[in-house]
Amino acid sequence: MSKNYSICVLPGDGIGPEVTDCARRVLDILAPNGGPSFTYDVQPAGHGTFLETGYSMPDASMAAAKAADAVFLGAMDVAEIPPGGGDPLGDMRIELEVSASVRPSRTIPGIPSPAADIDCVVVREVTEGLYSRIEYPVGDDAACAVRVITRAASTKTARTAFEQASERQRARAKGGSSKPARVTAVHKIGVLKLTDGLFLNACAEVAKDFPDIEYETRNIDACAMEMVREPGHFDVILATNAFGDILSDIAAGLAAGLGLASSGCIGERWAYFEPVHGTAPDIAGRGIANPCATILSAAMMLRYLGEESSADAVEAAVLSVIAKGDVLTGDLGGTASSAEMTDAIIQAL
């Protein structure tokens, strides 16, 4: 008997509600074909919620997120939320105690790419670092931001990275690939001696528990250059918050672009999944947004829930539609609407 999962849905702003609806249509086709079923609890969050209620992440929405088996997000316009109005993504990362953001990037047949051999995952700490939200003015002409690095958060993120490498190693072995599993920890220890020193120390300790995984370190600037020159070298990139944020966008740009970039923020008890792209207010409501990043994020959620075969099927359906190339949204070179591309993906399933 297939299992039913409770999913808290935060549609967000701009195209968020449109693309989450597309992903839900794909998820809902799984149960009639022997896959899992889903019960959705749709909750408000984001800039629009701030405008309506004065706070962007209501307590009821956070409670619903904690009560669900997983949380599924659309895009949110967090940049427009003023100080004191809340930070839905930041609040969830803290309240849901996520260990890391996981963002895969790989070349996709049918999508032009400057890097034909990129297939990596960026695992990034998301609760502290330079994004610790501790800033203060120094007089009228200067301001400071505090970079916080802790052993506890660094260890959690490192463990997630090595677990991802182990999963990828098993999947490759099943497919007959001999590419080694490798974790590359990224730093700038020449300048950030204490904070990155602590981060690297935590990473090295976790590496001891995974002797079958190759472990190396790279300066952030050298890593960025090597990602462009030799992208096939990288398997799992492990980074602090700001460094990982930048490198994951480089990886997405080298692969298939943000329109196909999925992500998940995963912890020991809770997790949420979202597309990497923004709210695209210029096309919101027109029904032409690319739903693929959100649908691929739903596949990541399926994998997190233990529904491996359904996750594989959804990913394969998306890739087959893109490879075929006759039903694509405008950003991918076609003329299809969001609904039409979703229909094609469902048909492929």
Q: Are the CB atoms for 235 and 165 separated by under 8 Å? A: yes
Q: Which residue from 173, 333, 155, 346 is spatially nearest to 257, judged by alpha carbons?
A: 333
At which of 231, 253, 275 does a domain end? 253
At which of 223, 253, 283 does a domain end? 253
pLDDT per residue rounded down to tens, the chain (349 residues): 689 999 999 999 999 999 999 999 999 999 998 999 999 999 999 999 999 999 999 999 999 999 999 999 999 998 889 988 999 999 999 999 998 999 999 999 888 888 778 999 999 999 999 998 899 999 999 999 999 999 999 999 999 999 999 999 998 888 888 778 999 999 999 999 999 999 999 999 999 999 999 999 999 999 999 999 999 999 999 999 999 999 999 999 999 888 899 999 999 999 999 999 999 999 999 999 999 999 999 999 999 999 999 999 999 999 999 999 999 999 999 999 999 999 999 999 9
Query: What secondary structure letter does DSSP report for 117?
Result: T
Angle at 263 between CA 344 and CA 328, to 5 degrees: 25
Query: What secondary structure letter does DSSP report for 193?
Result: H
- Domain co-membership, 163 together with 293: no
| Structural domain total, the chain | 2
- Domain co-membership, 296 together with 280: yes
- Domain co-membership, 219 together with 180: yes
- Domain co-membership, 66 together with 142: no
User: Would you call 83 exposed, middle or buried from its count of C-beta atoms within 10 A (0-12, 13-18, 19+)?
Assistant: exposed
Coil, strand or helix: which one is 115? coil
Q: Which residue from 93, 50, 53, 52 is spatially nearest to 71, judged by alpha carbons?
A: 93
Place of tokens 């706070």: 55
